[in-house]
Amino acid sequence: MESDKKTDIFLDLSGVQCPMNFVKTKLQLEEMESGQVLEVILDDGSPVKNVPRSVKAEGHKILVLEETPEGQHRLVIENVA
C-alpha cells in the first residue's frame, strides 16, 4: 500500500493503549473534511491490530500500513466522511 497523497494531519499515539488510540483517531477523523489524510503512529501489538480494522469498519480508506524503523507502525488514512 503506497500513497502519493499528502498528509493533512499527523497524530503520534506512541504509548497510548487500546481503546484510547482508536478513540483519539476517530475523534480526529470526525474533525476532518472528507478526502483529507491522517497519518497515525501506533505501537506494535493490539494498537496496530485493532485501530486499522476499526477505522476500516467506520468506512475510511487505509492508504498505508507499514512498520517504521523504530518498530512502530505508520498508518495513513483517507477520511471518507
Q: Which residue has the cell 497515525?
A: 40
Q: What is the mean pLDDT of residues 54-74?
A: 97
Closest CA to 39 of 31, 49, 30, 29: 29
pLDDT in tens, 32-51: 999 999 999 999 999 999 99
Spacing of C-alpha 77 from chain mean position: 5
- Residue count of the chain: 81
Which grid coordinates are listed for 8?
Answer: 493533512
Query: Which residues form the catalytic set?
Result: 18
Q: What is the pLDDT of residue 4?
A: 67
Q: What is the pLDDT of residue 34?
A: 96
Domains and CATH numbers, the chain: 9-78 (3.30.110.40)
Q: What is the pLDDT of residue 62?
A: 97
